[in-house]
Amino acid sequence: MTAACFALRRLLLVLLPVGWLIALAGCQPIDFYDRTLEQPVPAAIEPPRELAKMSLPAYRIEPPDVLQIEILRQIPLPPHRINLYDLLQITVQGTLVDQPIGPRDEYGQATEDQGYKQVEAEGTVDLGWSYGSVRVAGMTIDEATRAIDAHLRRILKRPEVSVRLAQSAAMQLPPVNTYIVGPDGTVNLHQYGAVHVSGKTMLEAKTAIEGHLSQFLDSPEVWIDVVSYNSKVYYIITEGAGQGDNLVRVPITGNETVLDAISQIRGLSQLSSQDIWIARPAPDGFGCEQILPIQWDAITRGASPATNYQIMPGDRIFIAEDGMTAFSNYLGKISGPVERVVGFASIFTSAIRNFQTLGRGYNQSRGGYGGGY
């Protein structure tokens, strides 16, 4: 009895400090990940995470991005030769009262056509049924003004003519249009030729396009935006447990994390393990790539942002295969051909035996039939 009491005292002395430690610690969350992953690293390679994201650098255009280009100012360089289907704005003072030419009539009221006249297929502009048509194709604006003035002086006493080019048909791009960046890094602006924009930011591309258009237009102004970000992507590689790896190419928006990436493939498959990492190409100044281990239980069950890294362009998210599944598939690859050979041999042997048995039965029945006679 004394020995039992002594053993009980020793157990109480051991358990009492443990109980005090638990009581002092209070309620603590369960960690599903290794705290060493949060140890500080050099600032240049500190990976951004779910709650500490970073803005990506200025986007650089590359094939096959799709750009939207809006031409804000598209006036041909002088002297402009009037072409077929150009739109001219013609204003004439001193016209007949009931036959005004221009945006305002004699009483200051707006006219229906606002003075816009299109050069017709014959190269003429129609000034109205009282004034007739005047040929202006191939002329400069000053020459067209003098031609219209000379024509109207046959009908009017002292007309005052003003002609302005409102829109050129020969060298005119749609005000807003989309353009795909070709494999050579250029956008094709149709009659204005191609402009190289690959590797440029949007501001640099805007400057390049305006500089190119200045060969044809007077002080061109453009607005540019990327409507389809096709050139910046990341990759998700799922190891196939001996059945071939799966690769998914996903365009990047600049805000994805590991969870966002895995959701693109609808989670982990039955062939996958929870051994996941990001292989990130090395930034300038470092000699090797970054390998960022991911703790799946921590970022899912534990809601820990420590390894829920922000995805960067060019990242490879690698999901390793399940070892037991891979081993089972490996055994299946080895045993499968053997089983098929054995099965084929068994079927072949059985067919021969049945044929031999069928032959003996046929001969016996034939002999019995003959003996009956």
Instruction: Residue 223: name the closest of 206, 207, 211, 208 by CA.
Output: 206
d(CA 73, CA 354): 92
Summarize pLDDT for 118-138 with one digit per residue, the tens: 999 999 999 988 899 999 999
Q: What is the pLDDT of residue 343?
A: 82
| Contact in structure between 70 and 229 (CB atoms under 8 Å) | no
Of 143 and 37, which is predicted with more confidence? Answer: 143
What average pLDDT does the chain have?
Answer: 82
pLDDT band at residue 11 using 50, 70 and 90 as cut-offs: low
Which segments within the chain are labelled E, that is strand? 66-73, 87-93, 116-118, 124-126, 133-135, 160-167, 176-180, 186-188, 194-196, 221-228, 233-238, 246-251, 272-280, 290-295, 316-321
Q: What is the pLDDT of residue 13?
A: 61
The reported pTM is 0.62
d(CA 322, CA 240): 9
The yes-or-no verdict on residue 28 having pLDDT over 60 is no
* Average pLDDT of the residues in 149-155: 92
Lowest mean pLDDT among 234-238, 276-280, 343-347: 343-347
* Average pLDDT of the residues in 47-63: 91
Summarize pLDDT for 301-337 with one digit per residue, the tens: 999 999 999 999 999 999 999 888 888 888 888 887 8
Task: Tell me the DSSP string of 289-309.
Answer: -EEEEEEHHHHHTS---SS-B
Q: What is the pLDDT of residue 30?
A: 45
Q: How many helices (DSSP H) and strands (DSSP E) are in the chain?
A: 6, 15
Q: What is the pLDDT of residue 366?
A: 55
Q: Would strands 233-238 and 316-321 be described as parallel, antiparallel, or unpaired? A: parallel
pLDDT band at residue 12 using 50, 70 and 90 as cut-offs: low
Instruction: Residue 89: name the closest of 155, 167, 175 by CA.
Output: 167
* Average pLDDT of the residues in 234-249: 91
* Average pLDDT of the residues in 47-72: 91
Q: What is the pLDDT of residue 3?
A: 57
Among 117-126, 276-285, 288-297, top mean pLDDT goes to 117-126
The single residue listed with the structure tokens 């004034």 is 131
d(CA 259, CA 311): 10
Of 46 and 205, which is predicted with more confidence? Answer: 205
Partners of 310 in the β-ladder: 257
The yes-or-no verdict on residue 106 having pLDDT over 70 is no
Q: What is the pLDDT of residue 168?
A: 76
Give residues with Cβ within 8 angstroms of 241, minimum separation 6: 271, 321, 322, 325, 326, 329
pLDDT band at residue 372 using 50, 70 and 90 as cut-offs: very low
Q: What is the pLDDT of residue 40?
A: 54
Q: Kindly state the tokens that stand for 98.
A: 């009931």
Q: What is the pLDDT of residue 150?
A: 94
54 C-beta neighbours (distance < 10 Å), count: 12
The single residue listed with the structure tokens 């090797």 is 288
* CATH numbers and ranges of domains, the chain: 66-76+172-228 (3.30.1950.10), 87-167 (3.30.1950.10), 233-321 (3.10.560.10)
